[in-house]
Amino acid sequence: MSKKRILTTSMGDQTLRLLTLLMAVSVLVLMAWMGWQMFDAARPSIQKFGLSFITNRVWDPVKEQFGALPFIYGTLVTSLLALLLAAPIGLGVAIFLNEMAESKFRAVVGFLVEMLAAIPSVVYGLWGIFVLAPWLRETVEPGLAKWLGFIPLFQGTPVGFGMLAGGLILAVMILPTIAAISREVMAAVPNMQREAALALGATKWEMIRVAVLPYAKSGIMGGIMLGLGRALGETMAVTMVIGNRPDILPSLFAPAYSMAAVIANEFTEATYDLYLSALVEIGLILFGITLVLNFFARLLVWSVARGPKGGNVV
C-alpha cells in the first residue's frame, strides 16, 4: 500500500477547497430540497388523480376536476414552434455577423441583437397584445388560412391570441440567446480551420459548411437548448398572448394555455387545498420536463460531437 500523497499543506488552499465545495453542494441541496417541497405540496393531487393527472384534458376547478394535458400541450407546442423559428434565424444571424459582416457593422448589430435579451418579458407581452396579436389576426392568420388552410394547423377563426402568438413571441425572446451563443462558439473556431478549407478552393459558404459549422456544432446545439429551456419556463409574455384557455385544439390560431401561465394566473385564486396542490403538481411536471429535455439534449450534443473514432470531442 502506498502512502497517500500530500496535495497541499497550505491552509489557504484547504480553506478555499472547503469553501467552494460548500458552495457547490449548497446548489445541489437547494435543488433537492425544492424538488422535495414541491412533491410534498403536490401529494394530495398526486394521490387523488395519479397518472390520469397527465392524461386528463379537463381542467375544471369548480367541479374539482384537474387534468394537466392542455397545459403540457400548450407549453410543448409553443416552445417547439419558437425553436423552429428562432434556431435557423439565430444561426443565420450568427453566420452573417461572424463570417460576412464588416467589423464595424458586426459590433453594432451584434450589440443590438444581444439587447433583445435585455428587454423585460412583460414589455414583450405588451408588444404582443398591442402589436403582434392584431397583426396576426388581421394579416398573418387570414393569409395562412388562405394559402395553407388545407393543413389543420392553419384552420379556424383568426383570433390573434393563441399558440401562434405565443410561439412567435417566444421565438423573438430566445433568438438573442441562440444568436449570441452561436456567434461566440463560431468566433472560437480557429482561423486555421477556415484557411484549410479556403486553400482547398472552398467558397465562403463551403468554408462555413466544412470548417466552421462542424467545429462549432456542439456549442450551437448547446445554445439552442438554452433557448428551449428559456421558452419552456417563460411565463409573463406567454400568458399575455396565448389566450389562456385550457383546450387542446389542432389549430395554431386557437387559444391555449401553458404550464407556467396557469400557475401564475390561478395561484392566487386557488381557494382550496386540492386546487393549490394541483397547481404545484403542474410546477413539478414542468420541472421534470425541463430536466428530461435537458438530459436528451445532452445526449444529442454528445452523440453529434463525438465524430469519427479516435478523435477528441470538439
Partner 1 sequence: MGQTLSVRQLEAWYGSNKTLKGINMEVASNHVTAIIGPSGCGKSTFVRCINRMHETMPGTKVKGEIILDGKSIYDQDPVALRKMVGMVFQKPNPFPSMSIYENVVAGVRLNGMRNKQNLQGIAEKSLRMAALWDEVKDRLNYSGMSLSGGQQQRLCIARALAVEPSVLLMDEPASALDPIATTHIEELVRQLKEDYTILIVTHNMQQAARIADSTAFFLNGELVEHGATSEIFTNPNDKRTEDYITGRFG
- Rounded Cα–Cα distance for residues 144 and 150 (Å): 10
- Decide: helix, strand or coil at residue 243: strand
By C-beta, is 139 or 203 nearer to partner 1? 203
By beta-carbon proximity to partner 1, the closer residue of 4 and 309 is: 309
Euclidean distance between CA atoms 14 and 197, whole angstroms: 49
Torsion of CA 91, 92, 93, 97, to 10 degrees: 100
Shortest distance, position 188 Cβ to partner 1, whole Å: 13
DSSP, res 312: P
Nearest to 277 by CA among 52, 34, 58, 41: 41
C-beta of 12 vs 308, nearer to partner 1: 308
Residue with cell string 387570414? 142
Residues 42-61 that bind partner 1 (CB under 8 A): none
Q: Assess 12 for contact with partner 1 (CB under 8 A).
A: no
Write each residue from 253 to 292 as x if it is in contact with partner 1 (CB under 8 A), else as -, in one continuous string.
----------------------------------------
Buried/exposed code over 251-290 (b: 16+ C-beta within 10 A; e: otherwise): bbbbbbbbbbbbbeebeeebeeeebbbbbbbbbbbbbebe
- Confirm if 183 and 54 have CB atoms less than 8 A apart: no
Q: Is 245 in the site for partner 1 (CB under 8 A)?
A: no
Task: Closer to partner 1 by CB, 57 or 306: give it.
Answer: 306
Q: Per CB under 8 A, does 190 bind partner 1?
A: yes
From the list 163, 197, 208, 284, which residue makes contact with partner 1 (rule: CB under 8 A)?
197
Window 90-119: residues binding partner 1 (CB under 8 A): 103
Q: Which residues, numbered 201-230, are part of the site for partner 1 (CB under 8 A)?
A: 201-203, 206, 210-211, 214-215, 217
Out of 69, 117, 135, 193, the only residue in the binding site for partner 1 (CB under 8 A) is 193
Cell numbers found for residue 266: 390561478
E runs forming strands in 54-115: 59-60, 65-66
How near is the Cβ of 187 to partner 1 at its closest, in Å? 14
Nearer CB in complex with partner 1: 89/198: 198
Binding-site member from 64, 195, 269, 273 for partner 1 (CB under 8 A): 195
What's the Rg (C-alpha) of the chain?
A: 24
# residues near partner 1 by CB under 8 A: 26
> Residue 145 is placed in which grid cell?
388560412
- 243, β-bridge pairs: 256
Regarding 28 and contact with partner 1 (CB under 8 A), the answer is no
Provide the minimum distance between the beta carbon of 224 and partner 1 in the complex, in angstroms, as a whole number: 18
Contact residues: partner 1, CB under 8 A? 103, 190, 192-193, 195-203, 206, 210-211, 214-215, 217, 307-312, 314
